[in-house]
Amino acid sequence: MTAVAFTLWRRSLNEVLRVRGALLPATVAPLVFMLGISGQFQRLVGLDGFPTDSYLSWIVPLSCLQGAGFAGAATGSNLARDIEQGWFDRLLVAPVPRPLLVIGPILGAVTRSLVPATVVLVVGLAVGAELTGGVPGLIALYAAAAGFCAVAALWGTFLAVTFRTQQAGPLMQQGVFLAVFLSTAYTPEVLLRGWLADVAHLNPVTHVLEMARQATVVGIEPSLAHTLPGVAALVGLATFFGALAMAGLRRMGR
Amino acid sequence: MNAGREWRVVVALGRRATTVQFRRAQLLMPTFVLPLMLLAVIASGTSAAQGLRGFPDVASYLTFVVPGTIVQGTILAGLTAGIALASDIEFGFFDRLLAAPVHRTSLVLGRLWGTFVLALLQSSFFLLVALAFGANYPGGVAGAVATVALAAITAVGMGGISSAIALRTGSLSLLQSLFPFMFVLLFTAPAFFPRELLAPVLEDVSVFNPLTYVVEGVRGLLAGDADLGDPATGYAAAVGLAVATTGLATVALKERLRRT
């Protein structure tokens, strides 16, 4: 059984090698946003309540999550393409449990997400972000990125098995975009105003971001208090979107 | 060259470009929704910036960041032109156009006409939605109308860039991946923050970005306050950009004809 997941994992990684520039959008978009947003809003660190004096350090984890999320959402686009081209129908008649058919591609996405997360982190550190959390912070950042990628992949899978068309691709990406930006993306919760303050407070991605920010934000030191809510949020999101994706998968071919 | 005939070609191609765009309205969704999403998040997420020393004294932070949304819309509308052109090239429609006895520039202008119309509708939509959510425009109706016109000309400039790339490469997938690269232009302009408060490197770079003058021009028009930006400079930058990039796209088309 694990051989099936392993083979599909390898197939999804092959795509990176065979399709030129397959990882480019997922890597370049967060980089541009990281450099652009930090250049635009760097003076915000002068406001009372901002936990760090480096806006770049505040934004790097956000961009890592964004890159990982886009890599995850691409799983849905690829699955929709496989459905449209009939390849997935052939997999469905195989005598294997259906969840295994999506576990391989999701693991592939998590593996691929290491590329944008690492490129963003390295560029961020090169242009002035600080690695204040050391190794524990780094582990938290990568765990948050990998977990968020898996959640985005499950969201993409759910949309792919529901709409069964590549035209749902923008919806997959925009879901990730919205989830990330309706959180403490630009400023900490104390500086948010109006409706966004309420939404960010309820948005589980806020906790995932806090977990990731242990790596670079001096006011968010590595600790269980900053890690466990993020882990719980990731588990909750993965369970929710996993259940939706599996329900959609079970409906296929009936 | 028969100017009357070429004009009819531009109008006919422009009408086709507009119709095709709205026939597949779901593909236009990101160009209308994405900038508004970013506006909503930035207006709420960074409004505390008004308390920073050096931030202009403006009545509404939302009004201050709306020009960034308008310019973002022009980039996306321009990108749509390149994607549509690359699609026409990949599916063979453009080859049929090339067989027609018309001036090459008219083929480019026809495509950009669609972008112009799209940007007119899009920027009007942004202004109305922002108004509904509390933005105010002391520049009045005249300022808003001038903003929409300025945005449409800028979108033609952006469309010229993406059309030139589409004509040079003929690759639909490349154009679809171009979005983050085009956003470099947005982030190197004072789209959401005053120029003086940008990162020093960005402040230096922004001087060379025509969108800097467009965004400041829009800010001046909407606020009715030339201290926030000079509309005439904004128009000059937009027209200059549109002329230069349309020329670039025409050159790319002629090169394409030489190659094929």
pLDDT tens, position by position, A63-120: 999 999 988 988 888 888 888 888 888 888 888 888 888 888 899 999 999 999 999 9
Query: Chain B closest CA to A18's CA: distance in Å?
Result: 15
Query: Residue A194: which of B26, B44, B187 has the nearest Cβ?
Result: B44
User: pTM for this one?
Assistant: 0.81
Question: Which of B46 and A135 is assigned the larger pLDDT?
Answer: A135
Structure tokens at B51: 């308390």
| Residue pair B165/B82 in contact by the 8 Å Cβ criterion | yes
Contacts of A20 (CB under 8 A, 6+ apart): none
Q: Distances from the Cα of B34 to the Cαs of A64, A134, A175, B29, B31, in angstroms? A: 20, 36, 11, 8, 6
Q: Distances from the Cα of A73 to the Cαs of A162, A169, B31, B137, B187, in angstroms? A: 14, 8, 20, 39, 25
Question: Which chain B residues have a beta carbon less than 8 Å from that of A44?
Answer: 46, 48-49, 52
Query: Chain B closest CA to A128's CA: distance in Å?
Result: 12
d(CA A56, CA A35): 8
Which amino acid is residue A61, in one-letter code? P
| Residue pair A64/A120 in contact by the 8 Å Cβ criterion | yes
| Summary mean pLDDT of chain A | 89
What's residue A158's pLDDT? 94
Query: Chain B closest CA to A97's CA: distance in Å?
Result: 34
Which secondary-structure segment (H or E) carries A240?
A: helix A224-251
A101-111 pLDDT tens trace: 888 889 999 99
Domain span at residue A58 reads 2-251
Give me the residues of chain B with pLDDT under 50, please.
Answer: none
d(CA B151, CA B67): 9
d(CA A76, CA A158): 8
| Residue pair A153/A113 in contact by the 8 Å Cβ criterion | no
Judge whether residue A61 has pLDDT over 80: yes
d(CA B217, CA B139): 12
Which secondary-structure segment (H or E) carries B53?
A: none
d(CA B213, CA B206): 9
Mean pLDDT of A133-146: 97
CA dihedral B182, B183, B187, B190 (to 10 degrees): 80
Contacts of B252 (CB under 8 A, 6+ apart): B163, B164, B165, B167, B168
- What phi and psi values does residue B46 have, to the nearest 5 degrees? -125, 15
Count Cβ atoms below 10 Å from residue A182 Cβ, excluding itself: 21
Indicate whether this complex's ipTM tops 0.90: no
Nearest residue in A to B176, CA atom: A25
Mean pLDDT of A212-223: 95
User: Nearest 5°: CA angle at B173, between B112 and B179?
Assistant: 60
What total of structural domains would you count in chain A? 1
Task: Spell out the domain ranges in chain B.
Answer: 10-18+26-41+58-193+200-259
What's residue A86's pLDDT? 86
Contacts of B17 (CB under 8 A, 6+ apart): B81, B84, B110, B111, B113, B114, B115
What's residue A140's pLDDT? 97
What's residue B230's pLDDT? 95
Query: Residue B187: which of A39, A191, A194 has the nearest Cβ?
Result: A39
Structure tokens at B157: 């400039």
- Is the Cα torsion angle B86, A163, B41, A234 positive or negative in sign? negative
Mean pLDDT of A198-212: 96
| Residue pair B118/B149 in contact by the 8 Å Cβ criterion | no
Judge whether residue A237 has pLDDT over 90: yes
Query: Chain B closest CA to A230's CA: distance in Å?
Result: 21
Radius of gyration of chain A (CA): 18
- What phi and psi values does residue A80 have, to the nearest 5 degrees? -60, -40
Using the Cβ of B33 and the Cβ atoms of chain A, whether some distance falls under 8 Å is answered with yes
What's residue A254's pLDDT? 66
| Residue pair B82/B175 in contact by the 8 Å Cβ criterion | yes
The percentage of chain A sitting over the pLDDT mark of 90, rounded to a whole number, equals: 55
* Mutant choice from B32, B34, B38, B41 vs A, greatest count of A C-beta within 10 A: B41
For residue A189, count CB atoms less than 10 angstroms from its CB and return exposed for 0-12, middle for 13-18, buried for 19 or more. Answer: middle
What's residue A97's pLDDT? 81
CA B188 vs. chain centroid, Å, equals: 15
